[in-house]
Structure 1
Amino acid sequence: CACDTRGSKVFPKFPNGLCIQNSPKPCICKPNAVGPRCQRCRPGFWDLSSDNPEGCQSCNCTAEGVAGELADCDLETGRCTCKPLAVGSGCSRCPSGSRDLAAGRWLGCLPCGCDTAGSLGPNCVAAPDGVGSVCACLNDSVAGRLCDRPASEHFWPGLGQHRIELETSARIP
C-alpha cells in the first residue's frame, strides 16, 4: 500500500501503517491527514509529521481575516493568506489606519475614516469599551468615533455660519 507513515496510523504489528488491501482507502489516516496514502493535510491544517498523533497541526487562521472561504494556510510554513486589510500570523488584526475586522468584508477591515479637521491623524485605536475602534481627537472640544462632531456644550461653526464683512478704504488727498 505504501502508506505515508507521517499521516497514517501506525500500530506495533504494522510499523509502516495498517494497509487494507482492495479498499478505496487502503490506509487508515490520522485525524488531520487525508489522501489514499494519508500523504497530505486536511484543509485548515499543515506540517504533516510522524511525531504528531493528529498527523497535522491547525493553521490557526482567523476566518474573518483570511482570503478565501477556508481558513487555510501554506502546507509547509503554516502562514495564513490574509485579506488585503488584515495582518498578524493568523490574520486576526487590522493594520494601522483601519478598524473592525469582519468576515463579510472583502478587504477584512474598514479604513478608519478619521475626520481630518477633528482628529490627530488617520489612525484609530481600540475603543475604551473594547468594542470597535475610535480616532484620537484633537482635544476635548471634539467628539465622536471619527472625531467629526463637537463635544457636548461645544460649538463648531459650519461654512454657512461664518460671516465676513469687507470694507474698502481709500485715501483722500
Structure 2
Amino acid sequence: LINFRCKCKANVEGLYCDRCRPGTIHLNADNPLGCQACFCFGMTDKCREIPWATAVISNNVGWNLTDLSGGRDVRPEVENREVLMFNANQNKDRSLFYWKAPDTFTGNMLNSYGGNLHYFVYYVPMEQGNSVPVADLVIEGNGIKVEYYTRMDFFPRENMTVQIPIREGSGWYNSVTRTPADKADMLRALAGVDRFLVRAMYQQQQLQSSIFGLTLDTAVPPPEGSPVDQDENVLHPSIPDTRMRGVEVCECPENFAGNSCESCVPGYRRVNNQLYGGRCEKCSCQGHTDTCDPFTGECTNCQHNTTGVRCELCLPGHYGNPSLGGELGACRPCACPTTENSRSPECVMTQLVVAGPAASQEDAYVCTACERGYEGNKCEV
C-alpha cells in the first residue's frame, strides 16, 4: 500500500487494482503485468474482453492418421463413433505420429484462444521400448507452426486425461525458431488453421492407441438481445466464472473485420498476404464483381459474362472489352450469324473499343470457329 492505496501492476488501475488499463484486457493475478495488451494484429490498441460463454467443439468423424509432413494419410478405425483407434498394422514403417483433425478444427479458430483442448488417451505397447519424443499438439496456419509438449508420463494400458491450454505459456514452442511461442505466434496460427494434429504414438514399439472424448473450448456470443456485462475487466473472485477469458474484440479500422481485425471486409483483400500490421485494399475486378479471395486477390463470381483472375476476359462465346468496367465493359454473346442460331462457339474482337461497349460496330468481332460448311466473318455464308 502507498498512502493506504494499492500499488497496481503495470497494466492495472483502480483504487483496488481491479481494472485493466485502456488498451489491455484479461485481468489475471498470474500475469506479471496484470492484464495483457490488445493484440488486434497490430491494427489498433482499442479492444474489449467480451464476456462470451464457453462451448465445446467435438467431432469424431473425418479424422486421419498422418505424419508431420502431411505426406501420408490413413483412415483410422472408429469404435461406436466415439473412439479413434490406431493399430500397428496401419503403420508398418512407423512414420505415422498424429491424428489430423477434420475441417471442424480448421479455419479461423481465434475464439478458442484462452480455452482448453481435452481428451483421453489409451495405448498398448508391443514390447518394452522407448517413448516417442514428439509434440502432443501441433497447430499450423498462416505460415507458422506451434507445438505443445505436456511433459506428462503416459502409462500403457491406462486411461490418461490430457488437457492442453490454447494460450501461450509453458509447453508451447514455435517449431521453426524453437523458442517459446508468444501470443503473436498463437494468434497468427489460430487465425487460419490449416492443420490441427494430435499425438497418436507414445512408444516406438506400439501395438495400439486410442483417443476419445476430445473437445475443444470455444467462445460463443450471447444470444441476440441478451444483457451483456459491461464491466468485463473487473475481477469478481467470489463469483464462479464459466466464461471464456482472454478473447478480445477489437475496434477495427475501416476495411478490417473479425474479433482481432484478422480479416478484410468483403470486397477487400490482404496486400502481400501480410496478416500482422498489413493493409486491406479493394478487390481489383474491373467492376464486374465485388468479391475476391481475401489473400490472393483472385476475383470470384465474375459478372457481365466475364472470367479470369481479374474478370479481365470474356467467357467463351462472348466478345467485348472488360477493361472498360461494369456494364460498359460487359461481354456480349457472339452472333454467328445470330445468337439464336450460332454456328461458331467462339469469336474475337477485331478492334479495340475505348469509348463504348463493343457491340455497336458491325465489324467489332469475327467468328473464328464456323461449323463445317459455313464461312464469313459471322458464319453467314
| TM score, norm. by length of structure 2 | 0.26
Q: Which has the higher contact order (CA 8 A, sep 6+)?
A: 2
Question: Which has more strand, going by share of residues?
Answer: 2
| TM score, norm. by length of structure 1 | 0.50
